[in-house]
Amino acid sequence: MAQRAAPPADITRHAENLARAITIGLRSWGFYPPEHPAVGLAVDRLVAAAAEATTGGRLQLAVTPQALLVDGLAIEASDLSVRECAALLHDRDILQITLVSAPEEPVMRSLLAMLTLDRETRRAQGGPAAIWAADPQTAILIEQIDYQKIFGRDFDEGAARRDATWKAIVRSIIMGRKTFTAEEQQRLLEISRDVGAIGELAKDSKEPFCTRDGSPLITTQAATILAVYRHIAKTVTALEPERAQEVMQSLTLAASGLDPATAFELLRQEETGDDSLQIVSALKQTFDDQQVAMLLARAMATPGHPTSRLAQVLDTLAPDDARKRRVLTLAKRLIGERDFGNKRPIDDIRQSLDELLLKYDESVYVSAEYRQSMAQAGSRAADLAARGLPAEMGQWLESLGHESVRRLSGQLLMDLLRNEHAADRAAETARDMAAFVEELLMTGAFAEGVPVVEELSAAAARKPPIAPDACRQAITSVGQSTSFAEAASLIAEQSPAEYGAFEKLARAIGPSAAAGLLSAYQREDGGIGTERATALLVKLGSPVIPALAAVIESATWHVQCEIARVLGQIGTSAAVPPLQGLLRRTDVRVMHAAVASMARIDDPAAIRALHTVLKATTGEARAAVIAALVGLKDARVVTMLARILQDSDPFGEDFPLLLETLSALSSIRDDGAVAQIAALARKRRWLSWGRTTQLREGALRTLARIGTPKARQALDDLSKNGDFFLRRMAAAAKGTF
């Protein structure tokens, strides 16, 4: 591999960002259809992360079940997204993924589509590497886990294949049902012949019983595994009774492969005399010395001390002292011969084994109440495994879906902030709420972010104040976040309902959303995205003007034009200074938009600004300004132009401006400036008779073209009350009516 130019710290940071983007991309692709804006947002983020990761050369991510490795070292990330990415890629048979160069968006979409294929479909096509090799792209390389080579079997997992029947069995076990269809019973018979399939069925059945952070509910999982074993044993006893002893041996082998905590909890399960099959008792009788020693060695290799539960299981499996000593001796030898990934010194483990033999009392470590509660938990779990679950279980499980969990998380954060009285903790909660809203933006759940932002606003205004600055900063951070800008860039693709929710969120965020909304101005020819962003900025009103003014200098010409339109529609005096800055642009298109917006503002400062720019510009720029004013066809423009006639020096440097202003007024044909035109016609300077004549001709021609009764009356007055030359010129102009 070529030497990378980026330093190790940057490589690790790039790898972390890429892992987070992959995790978010897989979530979004699994939740929404490919054309959904949330998917587009996730894909854009993944493309950006990949481009950043390959700036210093190719990047290789090695995959293990719990971690991602770069250059042989695990990525140590503070959050769980990197670990989750490792698990997701490992579950999809990925051994290593290499980014050779920055991939394009279609490549990333193809990658996500391949990774979200059903396991059976993916393996039936040869695995992820084989599928990916058929794609002509060269930006990403994939190596896969060769299960066929490792396990010596086909990609078809036989009894453990996750088809509809398998899923139905798992669902029935989780829901506590006791009856199975004929097809499901035949499948259970097939599973009973494969120890690996028994373990996979137990694994799939117990996985839902975890806390939100992924920690296993050991007692409940053990009760669920016992239910799996019981269903298999009952099915075999009913349909193939001659295989009962064989199946019990298989169940024992499957139990010995469990993690020690779950295995010991399984062996501690209590069975009533009413149970037709005493699975736990049979397991205890079937375990041989080697299996018990292996479980014990694996358990002792982890940090901790012997407990009464471990001692009780050992006492049950090896009730006589002779067998107990044999098992402990085997466990000591296994500890010395094998690496169980332990972090405890071997001497410490051996001492613990001796203590376990001589004295297994955990009273010095836990209270009597705790021991009693754990014992009761075991009996309750056994009862749960023996009887059917409530009819409401389906609704309860549905309440644990992603949307329900998101809403609950938001409500909990809002309640925490509402009830908090310590400023430091309130500030920390406000930051958590801002991060939560950013996550909602990435998944397209705009409506769920509105009440969270509104609660932050309410907390900032609450009396007495707790942490108002932190709450306001949290809102600002959301508006200025990359997540909000990326969501705004997809505003054209949002459905009416999604846009309505996004509008409410943007208005709740307030002025800090202005910079992010500018991301929607992606097309020079406008479009629905431009229209929606402009409408949102206008609704935010005057408070967004400083934010818009801050980005004018760095914006492209079409963004400057849209900013000018927003300022004109807001129409307050605060919009005049940034529009003045736009009027000084050399780009005629920007100037045209700024003039049109300035003319809409009913404020003396706007009139003065236009007058100033008209006087300061020449040639094409001045023509563009006047053309913009004429194109508005607004009565306020006539008043503005009349003010220019009144305040300009006709015989000085303003002379060309006056001629162009008269030409503009003749095009508008509104009599609002008749008085000023007539007054200009009466002005004269004998030493500048040429200019006097040109001004009079322009003024009289303008009155004639306006042609209203008021304009005719002004011409009539000039033909009667002007000086000799003016009367003759006015009389001639009257003849053009």
What the block records as the tokens of 542 is 């005057």
Q: Which residue has the tokens 């037709």?
A: 276
| Residue 151 confidence (pLDDT) | 43
The answer to whether residue 119 sits within a structural domain is yes
Do 184 and 131 fall within a single domain? no
Confidence bin at 181 (pLDDT 50/70/90): confident
* The pair of three-digit structure tokens given for residue 247, joined into one six-digit string: 């199946």
Taking residues 29-46, report their average pLDDT. 79
pLDDT, tens digit (0-9, with 9 covering 90-100), for 514-527 = 888 888 887 777 78
Convert the pLDDT of each residue in 51-94 to its tens digit.
888 887 888 888 887 788 876 677 766 556 677 788 888 888 88
731 within some domain: no
- Are residues 465 and 523 located together in one domain of the fold? yes
Inter-axis angle of helices 289-300 and 321-337, nearest 10: 60
**Cβ atoms within 10 Å of 670's Cβ, excluding its own:** 19
Q: What is the CATH number of the domain that holds 468?
A: 1.25.10
Where do we find the tokens 């607004």? Answer: 634
Contact 61, 70 (CB under 8 A): yes
292 close to 256: Cβ distance less than 8 angstroms:
no
Give the 3-state secondary structure of 714-737: HHHHHHHHCCHHHHHHHHHHHCCC
State pLDDT tens for residues 378-400. Answer: 566 556 555 555 666 566 556 55
Which has the closest alpha carbon to 581: 590, 572, 573? 590
Q: What would the DSSP string read from start to end of 657-693?
A: HHHHHHHHHHHHT-GGGHHHHHHHHH---GGGHHHHH
Q: Find how far residue 81's CA is from the centre of its chain.
A: 13
Residue 210, strand partner residues: 216
Average pLDDT, the chain: 76
Residues with Cβ within 8 Å of residue 426, at least 6 apart in sequence: 417, 420, 459, 466, 467, 470, 471
pLDDT of 7 above 70? no
User: Does any domain span residue 534?
Assistant: yes
In this structure, the answer to whether residues 123 and 264 fall within a common structural domain is no
Q: Is 165 found in the same domain as 145?
A: no
Domain that holds residue 140: 8-150
Per-residue CA distances from 10 to 17, 62, 193, 446, 614 (Å) = 10, 17, 51, 32, 53
User: Hey, what are 488's tokens?
Assistant: 């705004």
Co-location of 513 and 562 in the same domain: yes
User: pTM above the 0.75 mark?
Assistant: no
Beta pairing partners, 216? 210
Number of domains composing the chain: 3
Q: Does residue 393 form part of some domain?
A: no
The share of the chain scoring above pLDDT 70, in percent, equals 76
**100 confidence band (pLDDT: 50, 70, 90):** confident
Residues 264 and 115 grouped into a single domain: no
Cis peptide leading into 464, omega within 30 of 0? Answer: yes
Q: Assess contact for 499 and 535: CB atoms under 8 A.
A: no
**Shared domain check, 593 and 464:** yes
Strands (E), 100-180: 140-144
The mean pLDDT of 264-273, rounded to a whole number, is 70
Q: What is the pLDDT of residue 177?
A: 75
How big, in percent rounded to 5, are the helix, strand and coil portions of the chain? 70, 5, 25
Q: Are residues 545 and 421 in the same domain?
A: yes
Hey, what are 47's tokens? 């493309």
User: Could you tell me if 462 and 485 lie in one domain?
Assistant: yes
Tell which of 670, 697, 719 closes a domain: 670
Alpha-carbon distance values, 215 to 18, 207, 378, 526 (Å) = 25, 10, 18, 51
Helix 674-682 vs helix 689-706: angle between axes, to the nearest 10 degrees? Answer: 150
Bridge-partner residues for 99, per DSSP? Answer: 59, 140
Looking at residue 516, its pLDDT comes to 85
Residue with tokens 């991060």: 435
Q: Is the separation of the CB atoms in 682 and 730 below 8 Å?
A: no
Highest mean pLDDT among 56-70, 367-381, 637-651: 56-70
* Cα–Cα dist 102/54, whole Å: 6
Element at 94 (helix H, strand E) = strand 94-99
HEC profile for 30-75? HHCCCCCHHHHHHHHHHHHHHHHHCCCCCEEEEECCCCEEECCEEC
User: Domain ends where: 90, 119, 150?
Assistant: 150
Residues 68 and 167 in one domain: no
Return the number of other C-beta atoms located less than 10 Å from residue 1's C-beta.
10
Asked if residue 516 is part of any domain, the answer here is yes
Read off the pLDDT of residues 324-333 as tens digits, 9 standing for 90 and up. 777 777 776 6
pLDDT at 317: 67
Q: Side by side, which strands form the sheet with 68-70?
A: 73-74, 68-70, 59-63, 94-99, 140-144
pLDDT at position 101 is 87
Q: Can you give the C-alpha Rg of the chain in angstroms?
A: 40
Average pLDDT over residues 35-46: 81
What is the number of other CB atoms lying within 10 angstroms of the CB of residue 472? Answer: 18
* Helix H or strand E encompassing 96: strand 94-99
Whose tokens are 């409410």? That residue is: 504
Same domain assignment for residues 245 and 106:
no
Q: Are residues 142 and 171 in the same domain?
A: no
Evaluate whether residue 209 is within a structural domain.
yes
Inside any domain, residue 509:
yes
- Contacts from 245-251 at CB under 8 Å and sequence distance 24+? 247/192, 248/282, 248/283, 248/286, 249/286, 250/192, 250/193, 250/194, 250/195, 250/198, 251/198, 251/279, 251/282, 251/283, 251/286
Q: Which residues contact 367 (CB under 8 A, 6 or more apart)?
A: none
Q: Say whether pLDDT at 235 is over 70.
A: yes
pLDDT at 308 over 60: no
Distance of CA 566 to the CA centre of its chain: 28
- Residue 590, pLDDT > 50, answer yes
Which of 633, 648, 670 terminates a domain? The answer is 670
714 assigned to some structural domain? no
Identify which of 494, 487, 493 has the alpha carbon closest to the alpha carbon of residue 509: 487
Question: Which is higher by pLDDT, 195 or 234?
Answer: 234
- Average pLDDT of the segment spanning 215-231: 82
